[in-house]
Structures are given as structure tokens and as C-alpha cells.
Structure 1
Amino acid sequence: MQTEINNALKALKNGGLILYPTDTVWGIGCDATNPEAVKKVYELKQRIDSKALICLVADDRMLKKYVKKIPEVALNIIEVTDKPTTIIYDDAQNLAANLIAEDGTIAIRIPDDEFCFQLCRKLNGAIVSTSANLSGFPTPKSFKEIQQEVLKGVDYVVNLHHEKICDKPSSIIKLSNNGVVKIIRE
């Protein structure tokens, strides 16, 4: 796994895109602080950049770098949830501007996956994580279902878990600083 982390890290640091297994589905990723790399993700997915992307961070300490004020309930949800949960936070900061939604929010997940955890740690930052498909096409359930355009459009394909079936995207919850909680995807 260490070789794969090093190879993916090199691509990320060079502004490249990676294709990697997450705690949910196969993802297209890049350094979440690099606007040029984020732009490449939107171009590869053929997706309008007003549709926000998810980021992964290693832990709540890293989360604090990217969200001005983390609602108390967020840490409780992260602690007790038994399935991958992405939380949309108000007041994103220190990320590529084209990654932050028009309303200033950002969707972030702390993955329960050793590869993702180590990659975020070594990068010392957030990694974009969007499903490995072109916009409008179904999310691939396995590596075999990933479209050729996606495979050819990334700079590095992580050679781990190619046999893994991943058919459950994360739950998405929006937590506003005013205390409003909204379930976006169960």
C-alpha cells in the first residue's frame, strides 16, 4: 500500500488527477487546494463547476483547516455514524475557490479507509473525491465498470482493491451554522 500512496501523492503534488478506491465508491481525486487540478476534475467529468464536489480529510483536526466553525453536532454525527457520512459545512476556507459552492459551503467526509486516511495525512490536506464517472452516467459499482474516458483522463490509477464492489455512496447531511440540519442523501 505504501507504494500506491507514494505514487498517488506524487500525482497530487504535481497537480494531477488520481483514480482511487474510497470508503464508498471509486473516486476521481486531486489536491483540494489546487484550483487548476479542481478545474481538470470538472472537465474530465464534463460537469458544470457550480455543482459542488466532496472532499476527504484525515480527521477532525484537518477538518478545522477547511471549515471556519464546525457545529458541535457535526463531531457527534462523525463519532456515532456507522456508515460513510458526508457533511456540508458553512464557511469553507483554505480550499480552491472553484471547489467551494456559491453559498460558501463545502462537503467534507472523514473516510473510514486506511488508504484514504494515509493519503490525506501524507498530503497534509484535503483531497477531492467525486465518483469515477462522466456526468449523467451511473456511478460505477466496481473498477471494471469505470469508463475508458475516465481511466485515460487521470494521471494515476491506484492499484488497490480492483475487485472491490462499491455500490453505496455516502449519506449527505447539511449542517448550517444557524442549527438547521437537512438530509440531502440517505
Structure 2
Amino acid sequence: MSDINTEVHNAYEVIKNGGIILYPTDTVWGIGCDATNEEAVKKIYDLKQRDDSKSMIVLMNGEKMMYNVFAAIPDLAWEIWDLSNPSDGELEKQKATTLILDNPRNVASNIIADDKTLGVRLVKEPFCFKLMERMKRPLVSTSANVSGNVTPKTFKEITPEIINGVDYVVNLQRDKVCKNPSTIIKLSLDNQVKIIRK
């Protein structure tokens, strides 16, 4: 098994050059790329055989990145994340929460939904966090399956089609059983709240 710094370096080199990676997230294994690179995002849609009208979510590693993408963020968003992200020592207990927020900017246009929203999750998971520190950009995260198929819970359940279709497979956490996908909450600027997935 490789070490985290080596894997961050390897993944960054691929992403920097417009590639896509298969990597462990704070929930399930994901397919990812630079969220500002439209061509890389298109590669993921093609691999997943997914209609690009179905937007994908992005991961971010902190407030600075969030405000680079969203000019306005409801106070309620931070309250929800505080409740769903316990202290670092309790990472295993956390229930990841994705928020769909209004009016993103500075990201690839093909990950923005038709209603001008974008799903985003703040992560503390060490590999993702360190990779985004290196990228200084958000990271696309979508489940490692062809659209319509079951989301794999372990690395072994990921099909060869997906593994062979990415430019790099991160060599970490291959034996872990993934937690459930995140809760998804749509939160508009006027503080309307809609639960999309519990």
C-alpha cells in the first residue's frame, strides 16, 4: 500500500494535466477531476454514460474555497455542516452532508445544474483534503459506477469498465467498506430547505 503523500502527488499530476482519477472519499469510492476543467468533467460524463444535464457534486476543503465558488452562502449552510462534521477524532461517526447551493461561479459550466445550483460537500478526509490543498481547486466527486447501476460499497465491487476508464487509481483504502452516500439537502439563498436524500 502506498503512502498518502505519494498518492496525493500522483493524483495531482494526473488532474493537473486534465486527467480523471478513481479515489476513496469520505463516503464511497468516487471518480474525480479538477472541477474547473470542462474537458475533464466531460470525460467523467462519458465514462459514466451519464447525461450531462445531471450535474455532479464537488468537494471542497474549507471556507476560502467555498467563497471562491459561491458569492453568497446562507448562514444555515455553515450550521448544517457544523452539525454533520464532528471534530477530527470522530470522523468515523460523521454522516456526510452535501448541500445544493445557488449561483456557483469559477467552476466548469457542465457541472452546474440547469437551475444554476451546485452540490457541494466540505470534507476532512485526509486524502481528499490534502489533494485539494495541492490543487487549490474543488474536486469533482461522483460515484464509481455507470449511471443507473448500483453504487459500489467496496473497491472490489467497482467494474473493470470504470477502473480501466480512469487515468489513475489511487492506491489507498482499497479494503475499506464504504459508508452510505451523503445526505443531500437543497438550500436556497432565501433559506428554503428541501431534503433530496436522507
TM-score normalised over the length of structure 1: 0.98
Cα contact 1:26–1:131 (8 A) shared by 2: yes
- 1:144 aligns with 156
Q: SS of 2:52's equivalent?
A: coil
Corresponding residue of 1:130: 142
Q: Distance in 2 between matches of 1:178 and 1:64?
A: 18
CA distance in 2 between counterparts of 1:60 and 1:44 reads 31
2:40 aligned with 1:37, yes or no?
Answer: yes
Q: Kindly state the Cα deviation for residue 167 of structure 1 after the two structures are TM-superposed.
A: 3.9
How far the C-alpha of 1:112 sits from its partner, in A, is 2.8
List structure 1 runs of 4+ shifted beyond 4 angstroms.
Answer: none
Give 1:23 deviation, angstroms. Answer: 0.2
Q: How many angstroms does 1:125 deviate by?
A: 0.8
Return the alpha-carbon distance in structure 2 between the equivalents of residues 8 and 111 of structure 1. Answer: 17
Which one of the candidate residues 118, 125, 135 is aligned to 1:113? 125
2:186 aligned with 1:183:
no
What is the alpha-carbon distance in structure 2 between the residues aligned to residue 121 and residue 184 of structure 1?
Answer: 29
* Counterpart for residue 78 of structure 1: 81
Alignment-mate amino acid for residue 158 of structure 2:
I
Q: 1:11 is matched with which residue?
A: 14
CA contact (8 A) 1:70 1:89 kept: yes
Contiguous gaps of at least 5 residues in structure 2: 85-93
Distance of 1:86 and 1:118 partners within structure 2: 19
Aligned-pair RMSD on alpha carbons?
0.7
What residue ranges of structure 1 are gaps of 5+ in the alignment? Answer: none
Aligned residues of 2:145 and 2:151 also touching (Cα < 8 A) = yes
The answer to whether the 8 Å contact 2:61/2:124 transfers is: no
Match of 1:21 among 7, 19, 24: 24
Q: Deviations over 1:128-165 (max 9, x none)?
A: 00000001110001000001110000000000000000
Q: Identify which of 65, 88, 98 aligns with 2:110.
A: 98
% identical equivalent positions: 54
Task: Report if aligned partners of 1:84, 1:112 keep a CA contact under 8 Å in 2.
Answer: no
Aligned residue pairs, count: 186
